[in-house]
Amino acid sequence: MPDSLILEVADFEHNVLTGIYSEETGRPQPLRFTITVRYKVSDRYTPETPLSESKNYMDLKFAASEALPQGVHFKLIEAVADHVCETLFLQDAKVQAVTVKIVKLAIAEHNEKIGITLHRERR
């Protein structure tokens, strides 16, 4: 297996305008994101290795929060996940693949985790 660098932000919650039902539209609902990025690995990491050889993991949070367009209603959480993937690909050419898992917190009745996982490879 080749070397790889995986960055992850897990269980990040953010309110997003999403949903297809009348009780979902018009107001944001809480989503829980787990974002995993496969990044071009450096030949070696030493104590002096600069951040430019990796990615600031706060960029992953940004892609699922501030980078989402204000006031835009996403009918499907798949579209939210796709936007997160595209944001990360555009931010950095070293991003090779992105996986976004989204759990819709507002529809759980018995603490079940209902949602999707979208995986995209750089094209």
pLDDT of residue 77: 97
Find all residues with CB under 8 Å of 85, minimum gap 6, and list them.
98, 100, 118, 120
Joined tokens for residue 28: 């944001």
Q: How many CA atoms does the CB half-sphere of 94 hold within 13 Å?
A: 14
pLDDT at 27: 87
Range of the domain at 53: 5-121
As a dihedral over the C-alpha atoms of residue 18, residue 20, residue 22, residue 28, rounded to 10 degrees, the angle is 0
Q: Number of folded domains in the chain? A: 1
Q: What string of pLDDT tens digits covers the 123 residues of the chain?
A: 789 899 999 999 999 999 888 777 888 999 999 999 999 999 999 999 999 899 999 999 999 999 999 999 999 999 999 999 999 999 999 999 999 999 999 888 888 899 999 999 999
- CATH number of the domain to which 84 belongs: 3.30.1130.10
Per-residue model confidence (pLDDT) at position 78: 98
d(CA 55, CA 71): 28
pLDDT at 24: 76
